[in-house]
Amino acid sequence: MDLMEALRTRRSVRQWTSDPIPDEKLKELVEAAARAPSGSNNQPWAFVIIREPGRLKRLRAAAPGIAGRAAAVILICLDRRLGDETPGTSEYDMVHLSLGAAMQNLLLAAHDLGLGACAIGSFHPASLESIVSLPPHLELKLLIALGFPVSQPDAPALRPLSEVCYFEEVGSDGEH
Ligand X SMILES: Cc1cc2nc3c(=O)[nH]c(=O)nc-3n(C[C@H](O)[C@H](O)[C@H](O)COP(=O)(O)O)c2cc1C
Please state the φ and ψ torsions of residue 86, each to the nearest 5 degrees.
-90, 110
Cβ distance to ligand X smaller for residue 11 or 58: 11
3-state secondary structure 3-51: HHHHHHHCCECCCECCCCCCHHHHHHHHHHHCCCCCHHHCCCEEEEEEC
Site string for ligand X, 146-165 (x = CB under 6 A): ----------x---------
**What residues from 87 to 146 belong to the interface with ligand X (CB under 6 A)?**
118-122, 142
- Residue 67 engages ligand X in binding (rule: CB under 6 A): yes
Residue 12 interacts with ligand X (CB under 6 A): yes or no: yes
User: Helix axis angle, 90-112 relative to 23-33, nearest 10°?
Assistant: 140
Identify the three-state secondary structure at position 58.
helix
Q: Total binding residues for ligand X by CB under 6 A?
A: 12
Asked whether position 62 contacts ligand X by CB under 6 A, the answer is no
The residue among 87 and 121 lying less far from ligand X, judged by its C-beta, is 121
Among 11, 58, 69, 96, interactor with ligand X by CB under 6 A:
11
Using CB under 6 A as the binding rule, whether residue 56 contacts ligand X is answered as no
> Which three-class secondary structure state does DSSP give residue 70?
coil
- Secondary-structure percent of the chain, ordered helix, strand, coil, rounded to 5: 35, 20, 45
Contacting positions for ligand X (CB under 6 A): 11-12, 14, 65, 67, 118-122, 142, 156
